[in-house]
Structure 1
Amino acid sequence: MELNLDLRLPRDAASVPAVRRLLDAALQALGVEETIRGDIELMLSEACGNVIRHAQAGDDYTVRVTILGERCVIKVIDSGQGFDPARAEGEAAGESDGRAEHGRGMMIMRTLADDVRFRSFPESGALVALEKHLRYGPGSLGGQLHVDESNGLSSRVRSMNGTDSDLEEFATRLFDMARTGQTGPLAAYVDAGVPPNLSNEKGDTLLMLAAYHGQAETVRALAERGADPERSNDRGQRPLAGAVFKKEPEVVRVLLDVGADPWAGEPSAADTARMFGHSEFLAWFEERAPRG
């Protein structure tokens, strides 16, 4: 089961209760438990409020919601001036006397969401991404759809003990999902039993293919499910070096977040950055993972 909402809204405080009610109606129809819906309502309000505070007059902002099985992912995106995530963290921890309301909002989001990510792009805008695990009530529509889909996926994975052509066709579909960033379906297959480090005839793993093709969210989802960000292919290339070569900054950030070593491999990600003159990546490596 996958449900998607994509809303473009005016920079107006009145838009917040509107989007909140719309999402809550969808969650209620699926039978999500009331306490979970309340958490989502509050953290969505804080995320939208944060964007409205930082957006420029006249800017629109976007709310994207994906409900996939028992996961709800909310992304709130604006096109304003952005914000400093480090400063926001300090405010949330009480390190700043000013903008206390903003700091409390950050703390609320971190407390209620299972995962929170902030991205800020000066002069271009900001992204707040929230994830919440859903619980469905007994006999609910969402619960039944999730059970049916999970059983179907598990059966599909188990049935891959069939012919070689069946296996090859199924694996090809999975690799295509990684390349094209079909995060939800691919994550569902991995959850149902597909090995997270599945690789093709060249030794390219699902994570490697996603990284090389700029699919940052897919890379993160695979890493969260046990995919090894350090596994090299048959040519000795690692995902981080591939992302540097393709100049994919979001993928590079994600791989550093999940522990990829920029100094490992031949050539390493650092070697690749030097070779192609990507000095910004070298600065990130020194800051995020200084050579020991």
Structure 2
Amino acid sequence: MSIWWSLHLRREAASVPLARRLLLGTMETAGVDPDVSYDLSVALSEACANAVEHGGGTVHGASSEAYRVTAYLDGEKCRIEVTDSGPGFAFSPAPRPARADAEHGRGLGLIRELADHVHIGNKPGRAGTVVSFDKILKWRDDSPLMAV
């Protein structure tokens, strides 16, 4: 069984919990283990917060005030992509530890800790960043959609 959805969200702080709640609801309905769901929801929140804070830019000469979240639950894996229209990276962002007292700069590291595979890069051919991450799913015993 496969489930996927995509959201086009305004770059506003209020959009972050909306994406998180939709992901948690989808995974609860599918029967994904709550610990895995929680890890993915925190990683999604961090990726969305980065898109809200850093994902602005211009698209075809107009200011972009939106970003996209797409989630795929397919068999034993969940893949999430958050795409914005910001300036992108001039280089590949290397993992670097943030100071323990830092209020910013820990999001990408947290995503790397919570997911099994992470890719962060620029959108092909145009401005913007794509943060995608995967996690192997664990299912509740009573899962209605458990992968067979």
Is TM > 0.5 for Structure 1 vs Structure 2?
yes
Please state how far the C-alpha of 1:58 moved relative to its aligned partner.
4.6
Task: Kindly name which structure, 1 or 2, has the bigger radius of gyration based on alpha carbons.
Answer: 1
Matched, 1:60 2:66: yes
User: Of 63, 69, 75, which residue of structure 2 is paired with 1:69?
Assistant: 75
Q: Is the 8 A contact 2:4 2:70 kept in 1?
A: yes
Q: Deviations over 1:129-172 (max 9, x none)?
A: 010111111121121xx11xxxxxxxxxxxxxxxxxxxxxxxxx
What is the correspondence of 1:180-195 to structure 2 with a 5 Å cutoff? none
> Over aligned residues, Cα RMSD in angstroms?
2.0
Residues 24, 37 of structure 2: 8 Å contact kept: yes
Q: 1:104-143 maps to which residues of 2 (within 5 A)? A: 104-121=106-123, 124-143=127-146
Q: How many residues align?
A: 139
**2:145 match: secondary structure:** helix
* Cα distance between partner residues in 1 of 2:53 and 2:90: 13
Residue 103 of structure 1 and its aligned partner are, at CA, apart by 2.8
In the superposition, relative to structure 1, how do residues 59 and 2 fare at CA in structure 2: closer, same or farther (>3 Å)?
Answer: same
TM-score under structure 2 normalisation? 0.85
Conserved? CA contact 2:64–2:85, under 8 Å: no
Report the alpha carbon displacement of residue 89 of structure 1 after superposing the two structures with TM: 2.3
Distance in structure 1 (CA, Å) of the matches to 2:40 and 2:110: 11
Runs of 4 or more consecutive aligned structure 1 residues displaced over 4 Å after TM superposition: none
Query: Which consecutive residues of structure 2, in runs of 5 or more, have no partner in the other structure?
Result: 57-62
Higher strand share: 2
**TM alignment of 1:26-65, pairs within 5 A:** 26-56=26-56, 58-65=64-71
Query: 1:5-44 counterparts in 2 under 5 A?
Result: 5-44=5-44
Structure in which a larger fraction of residues adopt helix: 1
Structure 1 residues 29 and 85, CA, compared in 2 at 3 Å: closer, same or farther? farther
SS for the counterpart of 1:142 is coil
Deviation at 1:93, TM superposition (A): 2.7
Q: Secondary structure at the match of 1:26?
A: helix
Measured against aligned partners, the alpha-carbon deviations of 1:170-196 in whole angstroms (never above 9, x if no partner) come to xxxxxxxxxxxxxxxxxxxxxxxxxxx
The answer on whether the counterparts of 1:50 and 1:102 sit within 8 Å (CA) in structure 2 is no
- Whose RCO is larger (CA < 8 A, sep 6+)? 2
Deviation at 1:83, TM superposition (A): 2.8
Instruction: Give the direction of change, closer, same or farther, for the CA distance of 1:84–1:13 in structure 2 (3 Å limit).
Output: farther
For residues 205-220 of structure 1, what are the structure 2 equivalents within 5 Å?
Answer: none
C-alpha distance in 1, partners of 2:48/2:130?
10
Identity %: 37
Q: Which runs of 5+ in 1 are unaligned?
A: 148-292
TM-superposed deviation, 1:101:
4.3
**2:83 touches 2:130 (CA, 8 Å); kept in 1?**
yes
Structure-1-length-normalised TM-score: 0.45
Identify the match of residue 84 of structure 2 among 75, 78, 86.
78
Q: CA deviation at 1:84?
A: 4.5
In structure 2, what residue type is equivalent to 1:93?
P
Give me the whole-angstrom Cα distance separating, in 1, the residues matched to 2:79 and 2:139: 16
